[in-house]
């Protein structure tokens, strides 16, 4: 099943990494907007055309992997016992993600720093999160066996993502509390609002 990746795969990953590190270094050195695709391509030793075979936009270099990470929420959600309340299950799923964030906080802080100070990157991030909201809302709808006419799944998904975003924002500058704790606090705060919902 899991074949050892061939030369082609290895090279590809290697190039992707080279682009990413080169780009991040330049972003931090010169700023996101002042760094051009050409700059990145030169630093990563590829042609500028090739850049777009690896990343759809410049913004995605900053968000790339951390975007994929949140998509785990839906998987985790499906693994939760069906008899636990939806909001609780959501809380567990997000706690896992928060843990990932906490573990890799060194790399994430660099990315967040750029994201929070660059409008286009921030916007792209929100756009990706909106996609996750859709996915989470859909998963919740299925889980709660509700028709698509009910607003509750979407509201829950939006609240959960909002809790996550709020937590990250407070987590970033301070480091007083751990991210999982913050997320947990937000979820328990909102819990009463979703009490009656299975």
Q: Is 8 in the site for DNA (CB under 7 A)?
A: yes
Q: For residues 92 and 33, is the Cβ–Cβ distance under 8 A?
A: no
In order, the DSSP letters of 12-26 are HHHHHHHHHHHHHHH
Q: Exposed, middle or buried, 1 (CB in 10 Å: 0-12/13-18/19+)? A: exposed
Rounded to a whole number of angstroms, the minimum distance from the CB of residue 109 to DNA is 23
Rounded distance between C-alpha atoms, residue 192 and residue 164, angstroms: 17
Q: Is 178 in the site for DNA (CB under 7 A)?
A: no
Q: For residues 190 and 88, is the Cβ–Cβ distance under 8 A?
A: no
Which of the choices DNA, a copy of itself, none does residue 56 contact, using the CB cut-off of 5 to 8 A by kind? DNA
Of 35 and 129, CB closest to a copy of itself: 129
| Geometric angle at alpha carbon 74, from 134 and 23, rounded to 5° | 80
Of 54 and 113, CB closest to DNA: 54
Give the x-and-dash track for 75-114 against DNA (CB under 7 A): ----------------------------------------
Rounded to a whole number of angstroms, the minimum distance from the CB of residue 84 to DNA is 41
Q: Is 1 in the site for DNA (CB under 7 A)?
A: no
Of 81 and 173, CB closest to a copy of itself: 173
Distance in Å from the first CA to the final CA of the chain: 39
CB atoms near residue 176 (< 10 Å): 9
Of 95 and 158, CB closest to a copy of itself: 158
Q: Is 30 in the site for DNA (CB under 7 A)?
A: no
């Amino acid at each position: 099943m899991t074949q050892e990746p061939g030369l082609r795969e290895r090279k590809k990953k290697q190039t992707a990494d080279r682009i990413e590190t080169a780009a991040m270094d330049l972003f931090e050195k010169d700023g996101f907007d002042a760094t051009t695709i050409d700059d990145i391509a030169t630093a990563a030793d590829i042609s500028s055309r090739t850049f777009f075979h690896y990343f759809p936009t410049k913004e995605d270099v900053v968000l790339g992997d951390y975007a994929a990470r949140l998509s785990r929420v839906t998987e985790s959600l499906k693994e939760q016992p069906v008899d636990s309340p939806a909001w609780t299950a959501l809380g567990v799923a997000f706690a896992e993600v928060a843990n990932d964030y906490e573990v890799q906080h060194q790399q994430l802080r660099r990315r967040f720093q750029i994201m929070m100070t660059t409008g286009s990157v921030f916007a792209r991030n929100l756009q990706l999160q909106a996609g996750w909201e859709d996915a989470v809302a859909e998963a919740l709808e299925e889980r709660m066996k509700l028709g698509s006419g009910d607003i509750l799944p979407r509201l829950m998904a939006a609240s959960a993502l909002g809790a996550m975003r709020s937590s990250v924002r407070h987590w970033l500058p301070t480091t007083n509390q751990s991210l999982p704790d913050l997320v947990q606090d937000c979820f328990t705060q909102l819990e009463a609002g979703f009490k009656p919902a299975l």
